[in-house]
């Protein structure tokens, strides 16, 4: 079962960023699948690390373009990235200390809501602007 399903409507009009979103969706779905199989903490750690590194790559890519094209909502958007990172780090710390599948489900539920809302309500704000700068 997929927790996050990519649809064309989710596109932000920049292939590199769309591909990164798709990869984050895929890794999140893998994590969700593992949680449904009630695996051990050791089974989850590589996937959690992969997820964290892909999210950091994605945020740094967006922020690189914010700087490059002088995006006027850079500060507010970057603060959302920081808040997300802080929340995920809290989940990871708790998972590390008191592992439970329930915590993983809480994390994936948070991620599902956050990513859908973030792409639809924040990332799409830069689509037209980046396209006008020649970024597709």
- Whether residue 53 is contained in a domain is answered as yes
Instruction: Find out whether 57 and 36 touch, Cβ atoms under 8 Å.
Output: no
Distance between CA 136 and CA 132 in Å, rounded?
9
- 77-99 pLDDT, tens digit per residue, is 999 999 999 999 999 999 999 99
Each residue of 34-54: pLDDT tens digit?
A: 999 988 899 999 999 999 999
Evaluate whether residue 56 is within a structural domain: yes
| pLDDT over 70, % of the chain | 100
Burial class (CB in 10 A: 0-12, 13-18, 19+), 11: middle
Say whether pTM exceeds 0.75. Answer: yes
Q: What is the CATH number of the domain that holds 76?
A: 1.20.120.50
Domain count, the chain: 1
Average the pLDDT over each of 23-27, 40-44, 59-63 and give the range with the smallest value: 40-44
Residue 116 included in any domain: yes
């Amino acid at each position: 079962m997929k927790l996050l399903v990519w649809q064309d409507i989710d596109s932000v009009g920049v292939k590199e960023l769309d591909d990164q979103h798709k990869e984050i969706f895929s890794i999140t779905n893998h994590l969700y699948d593992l949680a449904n199989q009630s695996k051990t903490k050791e089974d989850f750690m590589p996937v959690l690390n992969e997820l964290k590194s892909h999210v950091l790559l994605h945020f740094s890519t967006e922020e690189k373009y914010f700087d490059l094209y002088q995006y006027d909502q850079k500060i507010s958007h970057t603060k959302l990235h920081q808040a997300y990172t802080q929340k995920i780090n809290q989940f990871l710390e708790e998972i590390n200390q008191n592992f439970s599948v329930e915590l993983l489900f809480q994390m994936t539920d948070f991620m599902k809501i956050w990513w859908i809302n973030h792409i639809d309500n924040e990332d799409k704000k830069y689509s037209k602007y980046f396209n006008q700068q020649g970024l597709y």
